Structure formats: structure tokens, C-alpha cells
Amino acid sequence: MAESQVAYPYDPAGIAALRASISAPRFGPYMSMAGRDERYALALYLYNARLAKSFLYPLHMAEVTLRNAIVDALATEFGPDWPSDGAFRAMLTAGGTATLDKARERVTADKGPNFPVSQLVATLTFDFWSNLFRPHYYLPFWQRHLRTVLPHLPAGEGRHEAQARVREVNRFRNRIAHHEPILKADATTTHKGILDLVATRCPTTSAWLKHHSTLHAIIRGRPRNAGASGQAVGEVCDPAFAPVAAGDSLASALAAFPPGALAFVVHDDAGRPTLALRPDDVLRFVAARAAELGGMIDLNVHAMADVASGVPPRSCAMHDRDDPLHRAAATLRKDSVRLVLVTETRATGVAAKGVLLRAHRRY
């Protein structure tokens, strides 16, 4: 799906025709995301399609790599004609047996009764292979074959963790297959999950996949409202922050603060980002408490919420990732604002995207 270099000539009649073709229920989420701006909603609809397309190759490689690995293990366990083996069929759930039989019927109708097993493998869906990781199959199969199917699964991970990896990739694949909006998904994290799954089988294949993936080029082309100008704040914010909960002790928060991080991002009990704090905010709090106590302070007694309560309420401003950068720069020029917390809306809710500090970069 190529992106035209020439602006499409929208007019009211054309927009009405496109909306009718797409349908009101399907176009509704895009209208909501676009603030009822029809042209912007259509741009988001096109971007969603391009984003979905960019995932087809990673998902293709994940599915082919995984199913071929499982097929090798099934052939070792049940023989080359494993789909017909009684022990294998007895291992399946009723749903798995039904899926296998339907696939066999489709291949038989197309190729006749004497088809190679590879034809059946190509017909079975990712759901079938994903479902094989369910607990039902643990004792008879995965205890013997998990590490041959996924030899690079991290130490300490077992069938349960492998199932979680495969299930998330399969769920995302199904969303794309059903043409659902994926704009609110964390595309970068999802892409990494696909790469990591492939790497549990073959790191070389994962590296090759990463090299040829077009996802990041597509992400850089995300449209913004025509009313915005210049860069979006999400394009320049710094992702070097440490997520913490309000109830985390200072000891645990400081221990989790990685080298190079610029700020703490405090989350409420629901996991929503509420405030960004600079390391010197914590330092000032510790120094003040130590002075009150004659030089001694127990970092396990005080929480990040205590630090936040002593910070001027307007010292941290919040901007959405799609807000124009010039607007965030204007916010940082206010005397009371020392940093900006940049957020983005994902399928799971609002999440922290990054931070902008007045001192660390020129805008």
C-alpha cells in the first residue's frame, strides 16, 4: 500500500461516499480520535492500514518460524504422518480436533486425498498452533519438547511464559486480520514482542526480520491534525525515565533508577502516569528530612508520594504525544514549569511516552 505524494482532493460528496463505504460503526473510532475532523479521521484510517501492513511481514515470519518448529517436534514424537496418529489426536482438545479435521477437509477438497502433510500445515491457522501451548498439553508434550521447539527461551521461563508470548502475538495478529484499529496499540512494544518470540527459536531469523521490517519508517509517518504545525512533542521527548508507583519507597525507587534516566514518572494505583519528578526533587526531600532528624533518614520509610506532595503543583505539565512541539515549548517557558510529562493513549489506557526538561535540550 503505497503512500501518494499528491494530496487527495477531498470534497464533501467524496467524504460522504468514503464514510458510507467504510460504514459508520467502523469509522466511528477514527472520528473520535480525530476530534470529529473528517479529513484527519480519513488520514488516521489510511495510517492504520499502513501500520497493519507493516506488521504483516513480522507476523508472517513469527507464524512460519513457530509452526515449523512445532511440526518438527510433532514429527519426532508421533511420526511423519502425525496429523493422523491416534496418540496425537487423543492429545488434542475437542476444539483442536475439530480445527484439524476442518483443515483436512479443505485440503482434500482442493488437492484430493493424497496430499503432503505440508499442505495441511499451511492450512492450519495460527490459533491452532497457539492453542497447543495451553496447559492441557503440558505433560504429554511440552515437558519433552519445549526446549527443542524454543531453544533460546530465557532461563527460568517455561510453557506458561511461552504461551503468554505466543498468545499476545496471536491476539494482535487477529486484530489485524479483522481490520480493527491498532492506532492505540504500543506498536514498538508489540513489534519487540514478535522479534523476541522469533528469537526464542532462532536469534538469526529475529535479527534478519528486524533488519528488513518497515515498522519504524511507517510510525514516523503518523499523520497529525492539519491544524498542527511543525514537530509533535512525541517526536522529541526523551524516553529515559524511571516508572514508579506513588507508594514505592525511596529505597526501591532509587535502586530502580537506571543510569542516564532524566526523571521519575509517578503512577497512581490504576497505573496512570500523574507526575514527573526530577532526581533533584528527591534529593531536596531527603536533605530536608535528614536535617529535621539530625542527619539520619530511613529511605524505606518514605514513599515517592511524600516527595510529590512537596513539589509545587504546577512544576510539571502534561502534554499528549501529538501536541505541537511549539505548544510544549511555550509551556516550558512558564516560570513555574520545570518539566513536561508526555503521554500517549494506548489500548490499555494512558501511558507515559517521555519527558521534556527545560534544561536538558533546546526546543
pLDDT tens digits, residue range 251-282? 999 999 998 899 999 999 989 999 999 999 99
Q: Are 352 and 286 in contact (CB under 8 A)?
A: no
Contact 318, 294 (CB under 8 A): no
User: Which stretch, 23-37, 190-204, 235-249, 274-288, has highest mean pLDDT?
Assistant: 190-204
| Nearest of 204, 182, 213 to residue 59 by alpha carbon | 213
- List, for residues 190-226, the tens digit of each pLDDT value: 999 999 999 999 999 999 999 999 998 898 888 877 5
**DSSP characters for 264-315?**
EEEE-TTS-EEEEE-HHHHHHHHHHHHHHTTT---TTT-BHHHHHHTS-TTS
Q: How many CB atoms lie under 10 A from the CB of residue 208? A: 13
Q: Please give the average per-residue pLDDT across 128-142, as a whole number.
A: 86
Question: What does the alpha-carbon distance between residue 201 and residue 287 come to, in Å, rounded to a whole number?
Answer: 50
- Please report the sign of the dihedral spanned by the C-alpha atoms of residue 124, residue 130, residue 136, residue 142: positive
